Amino acid sequence: MTRGFLGLGSNLGDKRAQIEAALTALRRDPALEVRRVAGFYRTAPLGPVNQDWFLNTVAEIATDLEPRALLKKCQAVEQALGRVRHERWGPRTIDIDLLWLESGGVDEPGLTLPHPGMQGRSFVLVPLRELAPELLLRGHPLEYWLQKADPLGLVEVP
């Protein structure tokens, strides 16, 4: 099985319940194993600021799915939980991003791995560091990227 990481976030409704529901749905899928989940972090929105704060986390997974099939499963979970795509970086009930797969990089229309924006996002890097402090991203340790990332008011939420 291939090790990977998913980013999960929500800024509509009961944010923690939305993320927990997504994790439950992912755990029910026989093609996925959710191994560990990092802590939860509150951040300001990235993009339009006229929206509520986000709750984010990262989950370590294992799967034999090809990246495109994994993306489709994540999008199906989003849709089942009421995700509607009105505007880029707009409010959402749930967002599940493929961040990284140990099987290597992907550069296809609609799917790039590692996730193209993750090195600048503290709400991804901090929980990812909890799960995989040894991970190298584009040839650099996570600490390197954290020094450059905008913290966006990042606060751990118990």
Residues known to be catalytic = 83, 92, 95, 97
CA distances to 30, 42, 129 from 158, in Å: 30, 10, 17
Q: How many degrees, rounded to 5, is the angle at CA 57 between CA 52 and CA 58?
A: 145
Dihedral angle of Cα 73, 145, 19, 5, to the nearest 10 degrees = 40
